Amino acid sequence: MTYLAKPRLHHPQLAENALGYTRRDYEGSVSTLCAGCGHDSISAAIIQACYELELPPHRIAKLSGIGCSSKTPDYFLGNSHGFNTVHGRMPSVLTGANLANRELIYLGVSGDGDSASIGLGQFAHAIRRGVNMTYIVENNGVYGLTKGQFSATSDKGSKSKRGVVNHDAAIDLVSMALQLGATFVARSFSGDKAQLVPLIKAALSHKGAAFIDTISPCVQFNNHAGSTKSYDYVREHNEAVNRLDMVLPRAPIQVDYEPGTTTTVTQHDGSVLSLHKLAEHYDPTDRLAAMAFLAERQARGEVVTGLLYVDPEAEDLHEALETVDTPLNVLSDAELTPGAAALEKLNAALR
């Protein structure tokens, strides 16, 4: 039951981060998802990432839409701000919250139905505007909550559990995010925590629109032979372009990899992304090359994962709009209502 809180007791020697919090302090209530659902692994990765980044839970705002995936914010970050919107509307509510208070760290969690069908327009505009957020789609290629209809990310030719063939072309959210101007784009797999945790950490540290498409098998409706979003299919066709290590600004940079096979990218906040190249010649700072690489591999039925693109110099929506630095909720009445003379001046400027 979603209202069942986890017991607070934990092992007295459970490790603490620099804030004195244990991993348990980043958990939420008991999950009600099906045992083995990929979404629960993504929740665990988010918990681990926030714990390792030493984020104060009260500084995080988690938002979602509707679906099994969108239920998950109940199962992590129980001490953070949360808003469960209506179906497909998470991006606009997140944009509004972000404009009102730029000091919080925004985490949007959605599903392939939520973002690629009813919320496609919302997804597109939040990404192209460069809202400072981490946007995770828990992509199972199916409407899990409503019992297994094809979603817009189901591959053409893939089969439903009952053997029905999907005749519609699939939307690839990663390619869309690249085309729309996202400044951090990654794909991962719920079954690969070693890859997913650093990607979430890097996305949370990124300034601008960071998008992670996470293939997350639905064991109930889309984990059979014929599905391209099953555990077996993704394991067999996963092609990682790089392995990421995320180094916090204050930590010494230690990289184990052979020189020549590692690229480092320093983000706005000083964090260093250390990328061990797995695909020769893959450059995660070249947007056009990334799009071409994805299209080519997709045509071969491969699932390309890793950090696909990053622009470390990205600006966000606040810079484009030249908003005030102070969150709106701490501005005084006088600052929020500058009076008739100021209004008259503004109107005159628009005539």
Ligand X SMILES: Cc1ncc(C[n+]2csc(CCOP(=O)(O)OP(=O)(O)O)c2C)c(N)n1
Residue 263 corresponds to which amino acid? T
From ligand X, Mg ion, ligand SF4, none, interface partner of 146 (C-beta below 5 to 8 A by class): ligand X
Residue with smaller CB distance to ligand X, 147 or 281:
147
The three-state DSSP-derived secondary structure of 246-285 is EECCCCCCCCCCCCCCEEEEECCCCCEEEEEECCCCCCCC
Q: Does 228 bind Mg ion (CB under 5 A)?
A: no
Gap between the Cα atoms of 120 and 123, Å rounded: 5
Residue 190: which of ligand SF4, ligand X, Mg ion, none does it interact with, CB under 5 to 8 A by kind? none
164/157 Cα distance (integer angstroms): 9
Phi (first) and psi of residue 308, to 5 degrees:
-90, -35
Question: Is the CB of 34 or the CB of 255 nearer to ligand SF4?
Answer: 34
| Residue 227 touches which member of ligand SF4, Mg ion, ligand X, none, C-beta under 5-8 Å by kind | none
Residue 173 to residue 95: CA distance in whole angstroms: 19
The entry of Mg ion, ligand X, ligand SF4, none near residue 87 (CB within 5 to 8 angstroms by kind) is ligand X
Nearer to ligand SF4, 122 or 140 (CB): 140
Strands 238-240 and 303-310, sheet pairing: parallel
| C-alpha to C-alpha distance for 327 and 102, rounded to whole angstroms | 6
Can you tell me which residue has the tokens 């690969």? 192
Contact between 38 and ligand X (CB under 6 A)?
no
Is the Cβ of residue 140 or residue 183 nearer to ligand X in the bound state?
140
Residues in 62-91 that interact with ligand X by CB under 6 A: 66-69, 87
CB of 70 to ligand X, least distance (A): 6
31 lies in the binding site for ligand X (CB under 6 A): no
Q: Which is nearer to Mg ion, 16 or 168 (CB)?
A: 168
* Residues in a beta bridge with 110: 137
Compare residues 39 and 159 and give the one whose CB is closer to ligand SF4. Answer: 39
Q: Which amino acid is at 92?
A: S
112 is an interface residue for Mg ion by CB under 5 A: yes
Minimum gap (Å) between residue 221 Cβ and ligand SF4: 6
C-alpha–C-alpha distance, residues 177 and 196, integer Å = 18
Q: Please, what is the minimum distance in Å from the beta carbon of residue 144 to ligand X?
A: 3
Residues in contact with 336: Cβ distance below 8 Å, sequence separation at least 6, in sequence order:
328
What is the Cα–Cα distance from 189 to 211, expressed in whole angstroms?
14
Instruction: Enumerate binding residues for ligand SF4 (CB under 6 A).
Output: 33-34, 37, 39, 68, 140, 144-145, 218-221
Torsional class of 36: left (φ above 0), alpha (ψ -120 to 50), beta (otherwise): left
Instruction: Give the binding site for ligand X (CB under 6 A).
Output: 66-69, 87, 111-114, 118, 138, 140, 142-146, 151
Instruction: Give the binding site for Mg ion (CB under 5 A).
Output: 111-113, 140
